Amino acid sequence: MTNDIQHKRKAWSVLIVSTWSFTVCFMVWMMFGVIGIPIKKMLDLNATQFGLLTAMPVLTGSLVRVPLGIWTDRYGGRIVMAVLMAITVPAIWLMAYASEYWHFLTIGLFVGLAGGSFSVGTPYVARWFPKSQQGMAMGVYGAGNSGSAVNKFIAPVILVAFGWAAVPQVYAAIMAGTVLLFWLFSHSDPSHLVASNVKFTDQLKALKDPKVLKYCQYYSIVFGGYVALALWMVQYYIGEYGLDIRVAALLAACFSLPGGVLRAIGGVLSDKYGAHSVTWWVMWVSWICLFLLSYPQTDFTITTINGPQTFHIGLNVYTFTALMFVLGVAWAFGKASVFKYIADDYPNNIGTISGIVGLAGGMGGFILPILFGALVDLTGIRSSAFMLMYGVVWVSLIWMYWTEVRKAPVMGPDAKPFSLQN
């Protein structure tokens, strides 16, 4: 009994300190969503260049997710997470001294390593809990996505008071303190490690599994879309509605905050109702919201019996924010439900599979802001960003319908989920 109580205490200590660490990492990862706006003005960047600037940290944070997930399986989440956070501190600090576009792009690649923390913490916290609570545990940890909203609360205040360069300096100090806090209150358990006879190439065989590819598609919208919009929304509010940066950041947080905090509820719902049911409804809610958000500000004139009449159709700032809030809630649930799929289907390889799926989601977060900027430069329509994501959701809905709703035998009637034990 004493051992069970001690194990539960360690489990909750690990979950709490890991969630805090991930929140800080995500705050740093999303830094360009706010400081990128004065940098854009300073360097006279177009929309595509701004999209690339904000996306650079997301690139490395995505690419390192697979190896980090594998290393977590083999060496343990405590050491991998601590080292990862520690090596980002110098890069965050150096950001304050960048002055050229290529400086920001290069340093952003190193700062982006913080984003890889997701594929470390997910298997790390999940293995401390029984299967019936893993959705909850991963959901609580994933609530660290709210670091995006924290960035929108803190960065504008620092920026207005001291200038944009003070933001990375403050963030570097916070990250350094978080490394120490994490090491003091986290724990390790040798039984959580994958057997040493498992090879790197064996773990990567999961890439051949059609189910893994499907989960990658789901996550590219619920996480990749979340990251992309979290980076894009502050400047969208400023450009579309002419708001001050502080007001724009506050309204943008109405999307980012529920999109992170409510992930824990999504984990609980996934434990209770199943990953498929939650994900199916998430996709339909996303489809409706993105359809409405896609409609651009429109003025049109029609001829009536009383002469020409001009009408305006478009979302005002209040309706737009409400729809973004609903979308944030839906994606919070979806991020948790996708990882519930993984915990159910791949209990022995959570680190590897979560790394692969996290990579796909992160790459969505890298590619989408660049495409957002390119579409704006090409069409001049800001809502083209939502049009693009509306199409991505269509792909997910069709794929889910044919492989899950219709129970299509994609893998064959005798196929089993990928496992290193098979």
Q: Which residues contact 194 (CB under 8 A, 6 or more apart)?
A: 73, 74, 203, 348, 349, 351, 420
Q: Could you read off the pLDDT of 1-23 as tens digits, one per residue?
A: 577 788 888 889 999 999 999 99
pLDDT interval class at 27 (50, 70, 90): very high
- What are 278's two structure tokens? 């939650």
Distance of CA 116 to the CA centre of its chain: 11
For residues 356 and 67, the answer to whether their CB atoms sit within 8 Å is no
Per the domain annotation, does 422 fall within a domain?
no
| CA atoms within 13 A of residue 229's CA, in its CB half-sphere | 32
CA atoms 278, 333, 19, 392: torsion sign: positive
How much is the pLDDT for 180? 96
Per the domain annotation, does 421 fall within a domain?
no
361 closest CA partner among 28, 125, 69, 48: 69
Per the domain annotation, does 370 fall within a domain?
yes
Per the domain annotation, does 196 fall within a domain?
no
The answer to whether residue 122 scores a pLDDT higher than 90 is no
Q: Could you read off the pLDDT of 321-355 as tens digits, one per residue?
A: 999 999 999 998 998 888 888 878 887 777 677 77
How much is the pLDDT for 198? 53
The answer to whether residue 263 scores a pLDDT higher than 80 is no
For residues 32 and 57, the answer to whether their CB atoms sit within 8 Å is yes
The C-alpha angle 280, 234, 140, rounded to 5 degrees, equals 45
pLDDT > 70 in the chain, percent: 92
Helix (H), strand (E), coil (C) string for 276-339: HHHHHHHHHHHHHHHHHHCCCCEEEEEEECCEEEEEEECCCHHHHHHHHHHHHHHHHHHHHHHH
Per the domain annotation, does 414 fall within a domain?
no
How much is the pLDDT for 201? 64
How much is the pLDDT for 283? 92
Residue 406, H or E segment: none
Per the domain annotation, does 188 fall within a domain?
no
Lowest-pLDDT range of 120-129, 355-364, 369-378 = 355-364
Phi-psi region of 311 (alpha: psi -120 to 50; beta: other; left: phi over 0): beta
Measured distance CA(288)–CA(268) in Å, rounded: 24
Domain span holding position 307: 2-183+203-405
How much is the pLDDT for 412? 43
57 closest CA partner among 22, 105, 121: 105
Distance of CA 39 to the CA centre of its chain: 23
Per the domain annotation, does 197 fall within a domain?
no
For residues 174 and 88, the answer to whether their CB atoms sit within 8 Å is no
Per the domain annotation, does 194 fall within a domain?
no
Lowest-pLDDT range of 14-23, 189-198, 288-297, 314-323 = 189-198
Q: Which residue type occupies 322?
A: A
For residues 371 and 305, the answer to whether their CB atoms sit within 8 Å is no
The answer to whether residue 417 scores a pLDDT higher than 50 is no
How much is the pLDDT for 112? 92
pLDDT interval class at 407 (50, 70, 90): low
Q: Could you read off the pLDDT of 60-74 as tens digits, one per residue?
A: 988 888 788 778 888
13 closest CA partner among 75, 86, 78: 78
**What Rg do the C-alpha atoms of the chain give, in angstroms?**
22
Q: Which residues contact 218 (CB under 8 A, 6 or more apart)?
A: 279, 283, 334, 338, 396, 400
Provide the pairing of β-strand 298-304 with 307-313: antiparallel
pTM, 2 dp:
0.80
Domain count, the chain: 1
The answer to whether residue 182 scores a pLDDT higher than 90 is yes
**What is the domain-level CATH number for residue 144?**
1.20.1250.20
Question: Facing residues of 302 across strands?
Answer: 309
How much is the pLDDT for 166? 95
For 187, the 3-state DSSP assignment is: coil
285 vs 211, residue with greater confidence: 285
Phi-psi region of 380 (alpha: psi -120 to 50; beta: other; left: phi over 0): left
The C-alpha angle 17, 20, 26, rounded to 5 degrees, equals 140
Averaged pLDDT of the chain: 86
DSSP state of 193: S
Measured distance CA(137)–CA(263) in Å, rounded: 10
- 381 burial level (CB within 10 Å; 0-12, 13-18, 19+): middle
